[in-house]
């Protein structure tokens, strides 16, 4: 049996340890802080006929092995014949700063130095990095890994329970070799664009139910809000149909490129009315589409905020 691998990586403080713990709870054999040079050995061990290991989680950071991670992962992916996925955990810089300050932990990149002036400045012009600078340095160092990841998740607003549920959805519900697990998300622009979104649609051109007193306490899941949006803006139905047509075109292309997880985000001002309505409608359309064969999951990020 060929073992399945998931590489758990991403920003320090974004939830690598929590994710690793949950994979372990799901029955994965998890190895933390493994030197990249030893990845082939883990592969050989897992693929041995008597190993009894079918799923392996590898937790990798960049603070100790900057130059070894990328070639080691490339070698692992080449030898694994498609059974390796990379999970990248991200979070906004303000949220990561808050987490490090609350735990009093030292950021692993904070031991590096930050030049305060020109590149040829003397050593007197060099000072230790602050937390924000260290986070940005790590973000830059991890840029390539993030771009190569199969799954990117923004944990800025996630509780441990929500992160665990996300992992359950992605890694326990298998989409199959010719499909892609699709996540439909609504959000409010006032709370920021989701970092893990692959496609973002702006729904703020639709009339805002917030300004209708009887609709304000409702959400885009209520029939009164749906009727208001469909009847109050003729473009709404056209937008929904054109978006469905676009996804009918794009989803198979993502599958062809080997993407196993796709996040489609719809945003409005607060993330309660218009974006929720559109996300629900698109989720229904994709669910009913026999041609795509996707497995839609839906999440309303800011509905209760």
* Domains of the chain from N-terminus onward: 4-172 (3.40.50.300), 181-300 (no CATH)
pTM above 0.75, yes or no: no
Tell me the per-residue pLDDT of 197-223, one tens digit each, with 9 for 90 and over. Answer: 999 999 999 999 999 999 999 999 999
Question: 225: which residues sit within 8 A by CB, 6+ positions away?
Answer: 209, 215, 218, 219, 273, 277
Maximum mean pLDDT: which of 20-29, 117-126, 127-136:
20-29
Q: Which two tokens stand for residue 70?
A: 């990328």
pLDDT band at 271 (very low <50, low <70, confident <90, very high): very high
Report the C-alpha gap between 128 and 134 in whole angstroms. 9
What phi-psi label fits residue 268: left (phi over 0), alpha (psi between -120 and 50 degrees) or beta? beta
* 34 or 295, which is more confident: 34
Residue 209 C-alpha from the chain's centroid = 30
Tell me the per-residue pLDDT of 221-257, one tens digit each, with 9 for 90 and over. Answer: 999 999 999 986 788 999 999 999 999 999 888 877 7
pLDDT band at 63 (very low <50, low <70, confident <90, very high): low
């Amino acid at each position: 049996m060929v073992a399945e691998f998931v590489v758990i990586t991403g920003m320090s403080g974004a939830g690598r340890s929590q994710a690793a713990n949950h994979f372990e709870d799901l029955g994965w054999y998890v190895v933390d802080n493994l030197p990249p040079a030893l990845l082939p050995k883990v592969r050989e061990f897992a693929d041995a006929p008597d190993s009894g290991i079918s799923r392996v989680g590898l937790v990798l950071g960049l603070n100790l092995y900057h130059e070894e991670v990328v070639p080691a992962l490339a070698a692992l992916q080449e030898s694994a014949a498609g059974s390796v996925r990379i999970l990248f955990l991200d979070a906004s810089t303000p949220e990561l700063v808050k987490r490090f300050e609350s735990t009093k932990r030292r950021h692993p990149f904070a031991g590096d130095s930050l030049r305060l002036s020109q590149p040829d400045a003397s050593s007197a012009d060099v000072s230790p990095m602050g937390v924000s600078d260290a986070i940005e340095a790590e973000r830059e160092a991890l840029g390539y890994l993030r771009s190569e990841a199969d799954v990117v998740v923004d944990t800025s607003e996630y509780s441990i329970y929500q992160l665990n549920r996300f992992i359950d959805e992605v890694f326990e519900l298998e989409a199959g070799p010719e499909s892609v697990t699709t996540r439909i998300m609504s959000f409010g622009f006032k709370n920021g664009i989701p970092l893990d979104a692959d496609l973002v649609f702006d729904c703020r051109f639709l009339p805002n139910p917030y300004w209708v007193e009887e609709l304000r306490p409702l959400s885009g899941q209520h029939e009164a809000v749906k009727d208001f949006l469909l009847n109050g803006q003729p473009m709404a139905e056209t937008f929904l149909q054109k978006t469905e047509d676009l996804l009918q075109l794009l989803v198979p292309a993502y599958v062809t490129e080997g993407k196993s997880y796709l996040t489609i985000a719809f945003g409005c001002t607060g993330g309660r009315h218009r974006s929720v309505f559109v996300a629900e409608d698109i989720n229904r359309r994709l669910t009913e589409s026999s041609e795509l064969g996707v497995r839609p999951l839906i999440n309303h990020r800011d509905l209760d905020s």
